[in-house]
Amino acid sequence: AGSDSGGGAGIQADLHAMRAMGCHGCSVITCLTAQSSTGVTGVHSPPTEFLRLQLNTLLDDLPPRAIKIGMLGSKELALEVGSFLQSLTSKFNEKHNEEE
């Protein structure tokens, strides 16, 4: 998700909502905003390689039970998230087939 420096949306709001529901939320930052309650003055997206590093680091230790996707800062990041989700689907299907 994107990071909202004003705190009213983005990962800040997502983690707050997850905690309110008794969940532990992890985050992968897909973009940073310069933002207040009145508007957005700038957006910065991390390199795709760093997004991939965040995803794989969490996957190794805290595999997801649910995924919430927020703002994706660029086409390249959206494609990387899509590729990651496809790999998760493949791993889930392989594991499910082994259990049958």
Cα gap 98→33, rounded to integer Å: 43
Sole residue written with tokens 């997502």: 14
pTM, 2 dp: 0.81
Does residue 13 or residue 99 have the better pLDDT? 13
Candidates 33, 26, 28; CA nearest to 7 is 33
In the predicted model, what is the mean pLDDT of residues 76-93? 90
At 70 the pLDDT is 92
| Helices 48-61, 75-99: crossing angle, 10 deg rounding | 20
Residue 100's pLDDT is what? Answer: 67
Report pLDDT digits (tens) over 28-84. 999 999 999 899 999 999 999 999 999 999 998 999 999 999 999 899 999 999 999
- Single out the residue of 57, 29, 53, 54 nearest to residue 43, CA to CA: 29
